[in-house]
Amino acid sequence: MSEATFTFRVDADLKQEFATAAKARDRTGAQLLRDFMRDFVQKQQEAAEHDARFRRQVQAGLDSANAGQLVPAAEVEAGFAARRAATRRRLATPE
């Protein structure tokens, strides 16, 4: 992996406080900044993957609805009412 230099300006007090905090954790500021950058990139990738997966699921639902593959609301309500009743029974029964 090739390396590159990343240069930016920061308030002198912040730089000193950051260096002190890094040293207290036996790390250099550069090590922490690399860690922060990796974490940020990973979180952005995970968010993009989640968004893409969500959009695929929504599109699949829309395609299904457009094809007429719908479940009547009463049927859905009845199914969830049964699940709620089963959960209440389970919670009411001592172990």
Please report, for residues 26, 38, 47, 89, the alpha-carbon distance to residue 44 in angstroms, rounded to integers and kept in the order given.
28, 10, 5, 43
Whether 27 is in a domain gets the answer yes
pLDDT at 78: 97
pLDDT at 39: 98
Residue 57, domain extent:
12-70
Give the chain's domain count. 1
Whether 89 is in a domain gets the answer no
CA dihedral 11, 15, 17, 22 (to 10 degrees): 160
Whether 3 is in a domain gets the answer no
The CA distance from 36 to 34, in Å, is 5
Whether 34 is in a domain gets the answer yes
Tell if the pTM clears 0.75, that is, is over it.
no
Whether 94 is in a domain gets the answer no
Query: Would you write out the chain's pLDDT as a tens digit for each of its 95 residues?
Result: 789 998 999 999 999 999 999 999 999 999 999 999 999 999 999 999 999 999 999 999 999 999 999 999 999 999 999 999 999 999 998 77
Whether 58 is in a domain gets the answer yes
pLDDT at 94: 78
Buried b (16+ CB within 10 A) or exposed e, 4-30: eeeeeeeeeeeeeeeeeebeeeeeeee
Whether 45 is in a domain gets the answer yes
